[in-house]
Structure 1
Amino acid sequence: MEYRPIPRMPEAFQQPVTADEIEAICRRIFGPHTAVLSATELGTGMYNTTFEVTVAGQERPMILRIAPEPGRQFTSERALMRNEYASLPYLAELAPLMPRLIAADFTHEVIGRDYMLQTLLDGIPATEHLRAYPRSMWPVFYRRLGEIARRVHTVRGPSFGPVAGPAYGTWSKAVAASLEDIATDLEGADLDAADVRKVVAAALRHRTVLDEITEPRLLGGDLWVPNALLDHDAPEPTITGVYDFDRTWWGDPAADWTIRMVMAKSDERQAFWETYGPLDQSEDARWRQKVYEARHLGALRLERHRLGNQEGVRASYDSMADILAAVS
């Protein structure tokens, strides 16, 4: 077996797996006599440990994603792989663009971590290939992304909160619980979370504004440029695949990461609205958007801490102060 891991520091969040463990996983899925020809770790993701694996007798390479050990997962990022697994039936309309699930194992009998084996999608990561086109063509990409996001957001759900649970009967309870989890994780990492807790208090104090959202819709959670693939040779940016739906939840589409990133800059990404449609611009909707931004900033602070980006952590406090002034 040709084994090519990414060298990491011992304290890195993404912990390695051995060649023997990868072979054991593949034998679990394909049978005891399975021969793994190669396993190459991919460095594009920042949460799961991901390998492209080639197995004798299989036509194409496959993607093996291995979750962090349970003890290393934050409360606000609990069992993300299981959440993605629970989301797949609700993403059926995107099936032609998504990797197909070959197997999932949450038993921890082979390795003490969840893992999923998926088909390998054709295409080049949009983070690399979009820049191969002149910027005048970039709106083509964002218009298509708007179509995809709209299709996700039209799916109705049974309750609010992460797709795999816990479930909440109102949007305000789901938002407050999410912010509470983030605050708990920040404090567990010895970071000040007082500003996040103030946003929780504001969300509960103005719960009637949040609870104007009465119909849970599916949120992709992380649908953006890093999780899209482009055709190798198309004359304009053409999305061939989307993936990593582990942060899906039920709620207000305006709270989705995709919407946040489109709103972040007034550049080519504004073509997104041409296919997605306009957002609610009422006073209450704008207030809710501030609360959603606080949730994104809290999650970003946590991720930046995990990645050792202390400057980014510090910057999040200034950004959160602006939000607090608007929502209190």
Structure 2
Amino acid sequence: MEFQPIERAAQAFQQPVTARHIEQISRRVFDGDAVSARELGLGMYNNTYKVTVEGQDRPVIMRFAPEPARQFASERELMRNEYATVPYLSVIAPLMPRVIAADWSHELIGRDYLIQTCLGGVPAPEHLRDYPRPTWRSFYRRLGEITRTVHDVRGPRFGPVAAPAYDTWSQAVAGSLAEIAADVESVGLDAADLRKVADLAAERHHLLDEITEPRLLAGDLWTVNVMIAAEAPEPTITGVLDLDRTWWGDPAADWTIRLASARRDERLAFWEAYGELGGDQAAEWRSLVYEVRHLGAVRLERHRHGQGDRVRESYDAVAAALAALTSGRRHI
């Protein structure tokens, strides 16, 4: 088999699998030999390979989760969470890869893995900039449509799709913040700021519990997880992938909403399709709590990839949000 892994440092978070692993999995799932396997480098969590298998018309995608011991508690079994979300993502099924096989047994390799169909198109992070910026509006408008479609899906309880489930939104948010704080502390970093916000979320639960209907949050839907047509006159979305951080909760808490709100540029077209969020003082207060949750997860991600300066930046950002949460808003 022709095998093309990405060379990584021994201390890197992402650790490759071996050619032998891919060969064994190909025989188990397809009853055929792997002809070639090339590791794809866009993702920062799972290891992803484009694999050609004897007897298959098209290449397939094999994705390997980190070993269980390497996973943070706040990111536990994300691949299983993605798998549990597939039935709820039927609303955008034409854009999604189909699952061919999933294996949580750890019999062949001590890691969860998924095999999926290979989406057509090219990665948006690599090719969106090939288009004139004015044409990006159509891209963001379509992203707004897709996000609205996902957010319109209603769920049974709050929290990650697979588990744990919470009866109230405040419990889900406070629980998530506490988990992220514990993970931050587990790598030797200070998480007192995150714990203060977790305590605030529990103390002022009535503001979070104005959200009574769990909606599906994509978790990580943005350009990095989008495919676009290879030769279209304007950037045209052909697929979305890696939605492993899905949640049931308040759409305003979604990572996609955070990024769509970050700049007033071409991404304003997102809101033309999605619609305005609106909201009162309570909604503004909740948005600050959501921002701290995002910043906590970002702090972990930056630490994992050795970005010390950017880890320190996260403390200033959380301090600003915490100050806004506790000043002048006690009456709401």
TM-score, scaled to structure 2? 0.97
Q: Cα deviations across residues 39-89 of structure 1 (Å, max 9, x unaligned)?
A: 000110000010000001000011000000000000000000000000000
In structure 1, C-alpha distance between the alignment counterparts of 2:136 and 2:202, rounded to whole Å: 40
Paired with 1:49 and 1:127, the residues of 2 have a C-alpha distance of 18
SS at match of 1:116: strand
Question: Displacement, 1:280?
Answer: 2.3
For residues 270 and 204 of structure 1, what CA distance do their matches in structure 2 show? 34
> Which whole-Å CA distance do the structure 1 matches of 2:220 and 2:303 have between them?
19
Amino acid at match of 1:283: Q
Tell me the amino acid that sits aligned with residue 17 of structure 2: V
Q: What is residue 93 of structure 2 aligned with on the other side?
A: 95
Q: How many residues align?
A: 326
- Superposed, which structure 2 residues align to 1:1-328 within 5 Å? 1-31=1-31, 34-328=32-326
SS for the counterpart of 1:268 is coil
Which 4+ residue blocks in structure 1 deviate beyond 6 angstroms?
Answer: none
Q: Give 2:14's aligned amino acid.
A: Q
Deviates more, 1:181-190 or 1:276-285: 276-285
SS of structure 2 residue aligned to 1:151: helix
Q: Residue type matched to 2:9 in 1?
A: M
- The AA in structure 2 aligned to 1:46 is M
Structure 1 residues 168-189: Cα deviation after superposition (integer angstroms, max 9, x where no partner): 0000000000000100000001
Aligned counterparts of 2:172 and 2:211: Cα–Cα separation in 1: 11
Distance of 1:212 and 1:93 partners within structure 2? 26
Q: Could you tell me how far 1:281 is from its partner in structure 2?
A: 2.5
Partner AA of 1:208 in structure 2: H
Between the two proteins, what is the percent identity of the paired residues? 65
- The alpha carbon displacement at 1:267 in A equals 1.0
Quote how far apart the aligned CAs of 1:206 are. Answer: 1.0
Aligned-partner residue type, residue 166 of structure 1: P
Query: CA offset at residue 311 of structure 1?
Result: 1.0
CA RMSD of aligned residues (A): 0.6
Q: CA deviation at 1:159?
A: 0.1
Unaligned runs of 5+ in 2: 327-332
Q: Which moved more, 1:48-57 or 1:275-284?
A: 275-284
Distance in 1 (alpha carbons) for counterparts of 2:27 and 2:318: 48
Cα distance in 1 for partners of 2:2, 2:224 equals 27
User: What's the TM-score, normalizing by structure 1?
Assistant: 0.99
Shift of 1:154: 0.3
Cα distance, 1:93 vs structure 2: 1.1
What secondary structure is seen at the aligned counterpart in 1 of 2:116?
A: strand
Q: Deviations over 1:160-215 (max 9, x none)?
A: 00000100000000000000010000000101000000100111111100000000
